[in-house]
Amino acid sequence: MSSDGENEDLMFEDEYDDAFDQDEDMEDVDSTSEPDVYDALSPAIEEAPQKKPYDISWKVRTLQEIIDMQNKEIKKIQSLLEVPASTAAILLRHYVWNSEKLQEQFWNDPTAALQGAGLSPPSSPSTRTQTLPSSPEKRPNRLPRTTVASPSIRTRSRLPTEPFECPICCTDFDKTLVEGSTFAMGCGHRFCRDCWGEYLSGKVKGEGESAKIQCMESGCQRVVREEVIDEIVSSDISKRYHNLLNAAFVADSSNLRWCPHPNCEYIIECNQAPARMLNQLVPTVECKCGHELCFGCGYGASHRPVLCRIVKMWEKKCADDSETANWLQANTKECTKCQSTIEKNGGCNHMTCKKCKWEFCWVCMGPWSEHGTNWYQCNRFDERSGIDARDTQAKSRASLERYLHYFNRWANHEHSAKLDAEFYRKTEKKMEQMQNSGNLSWIEVQFAKAAVDAVIKARITLKWSYCMAFYLKRNNMTELFEDNQRDLERAVESLGYLLEQNIVDTDSIAKLRQDITNQAAYVQKRHDILMDDTLKGYLERRWEFSVDI
């Protein structure tokens, strides 16, 4: 309903950024410099086989471990500040689980710290509250025991010895019922339990609030404690309330992230990929559910080797309606020689203008003669020779073409990767065929599946490499990048071609098997080279982008 939450989110980020500003260099970001508070709880660290400088370690947590983490922090604060557990919890939530900051501010000014968190006696604008409990420092938070009415000051009815009318539902309570049927927090604003229940259920169920549910009194900022909510609301609402608290804890912790995959309830913990490192790290992690995700941005798959921010820009650009309109516009092009408008409605990229017979490449618009057999020259959008082509075309169209060049290749690999199920199915059929006609054992035909794995993995990397290339500035480094990209692209296409081959006879199977195995190994090698070089390049600050990252 309000923008409060948003503001607080911003504030949280700032605080975390500040916390991370202490260590500036990449070398500092390892498990020793960023102490792992929850180490005692960590069962094992999932580590890559050989650790590369750009690899990160992470842990997959269960919900119970997340709860334990909170309880551990709460216990710590509870004993350090000598406050009840629920007070410690409210304080920690208010200070976004930054216990150092909480302690500092608490010892500096306990009243202000408690007041800020919605714990101290209120300064309610309501005229009903007259007196406030004295010296909140000494006993800042006497816990109102939920079964018994709060021992602190009352508002309208001085004590449960007087009859009481709930100011919300106007129900009268006999003095004997006041204690059992009404409730007031430390702020003294008393209401009947039914109204409390209605209100709290509405907050939890309707508005999804958890950590910051306040007193019902107008303007009173007293935060309702966990045990009060648990005591008053039904068990399913209470369950939802605790789920919301846990979700808020994960959202507030920069080292935690929910696995984004449907029905997966694991949480990833990673201390090595704070927001400020995301301009040089692509923290791809794997959840216990078997899926990969990006810890940096929550993308539900690996987007390596591209930085989170670039991915976001790219996705926005591709989703943008204006780009879609541009794309439609770009389905027609002018012949670079005679300016006739041509619509490509199928066939290959070797275009021959019907009017002037000029032969050119549909993708780069360069003369076809330059392509010849060297088709892969076209993976590179050569801006210098593009300038010549642009002389005959509108300027906007040129930048559009540049975008489309990368977008089409990106989309092409995206599309191919999406067909992976079909690819596996076809390959499996072939594997069966090889087992039957080639007398190969099951284990001997697994090479084909491994090859498909390699193709799909490489296609996803290639897909992202085109997004990367779109944002790279033209320089020597970019050329090297595109060389690696081209090599991988070639290797993948040849492997794809081999996998499409029909099995003719038993003799050919042996050769095909050899070829596919070799080519798959080559694809894997080219893939690793591209990935390794690109990710290392971030750390060595080799990549220059045309946009700010």
Residues forming contacts to another protein in the complex (CB under 8 A) are 1-4, 7, 126, 167-171, 189, 191, 194-195, 198-199, 202, 216-220
Taking the CA of residue 137 as centre, how many other CA atoms within 13 Å lie in the half-sphere pointing to its CB?
7
CB of 167 to another protein, least distance (A): 5
For another protein, the closer CB: 7 or 339: 7
Measure the N-to-C terminal CA separation of the chain; round to a whole number of Å. Answer: 33
| DSSP β-bridge partners for residue 165 | 172
Structure token pair of residue 468: 């990367």
Alpha helices, DSSP H only, in 261-365?
Answer: 308-319, 321-329
CB of 7 to another protein, least distance (A): 7
Residue whose pair of structure tokens reads 């309208």 in the numeric block: 156
For another protein, the closer CB: 53 or 163: 163
Residue 222 is given by DSSP the state P
CA dihedral (338, 341, 346, 351) in degrees, to 10, reads 10
Q: Sheet of 267-269: strands edge to edge?
A: 59-61, 267-269, 256-258
Is 361 one of the catalytic residues?
no
Catalytic residue among 348, 356, 361, 364: 348
CB of 28 to another protein, least distance (A): 37
CB of 433 to another protein, least distance (A): 54
CB of 198 to another protein, least distance (A): 5
Residue whose pair of structure tokens reads 């050919």 in the numeric block: 508
Structure token pair of residue 190: 């008393």
For another protein, the closer CB: 128 or 542: 128
For another protein, the closer CB: 218 or 399: 218
Question: Distance between CA 160 and CA 182 in Å, rounded?
Answer: 9
For another protein, the closer CB: 129 or 271: 129
Q: With contact defined as beta carbons under 8 Å apart, do 340 and 347 qualify?
A: no
For another protein, the closer CB: 168 or 398: 168
Q: With contact defined as beta carbons under 8 Å apart, do 87 and 115 qualify?
A: no
| DSSP β-bridge partners for residue 504 | none
Closest CA to 283 of 267, 305, 266: 305
CB of 164 to another protein, least distance (A): 14
Residue 224 is given by DSSP the state P
For another protein, the closer CB: 216 or 308: 216
Q: What is the DSSP string of 184-247?
A: E-TT--EEEHHHHHHHHHIIIIIT---TT-B-SSTT--PBPPHHHHHHHS-HHHHHHHHHHHHH
Angle separating helix axes 506-539 and 420-437, nearest 10 degrees: 150
Show which residues are catalytic.
348
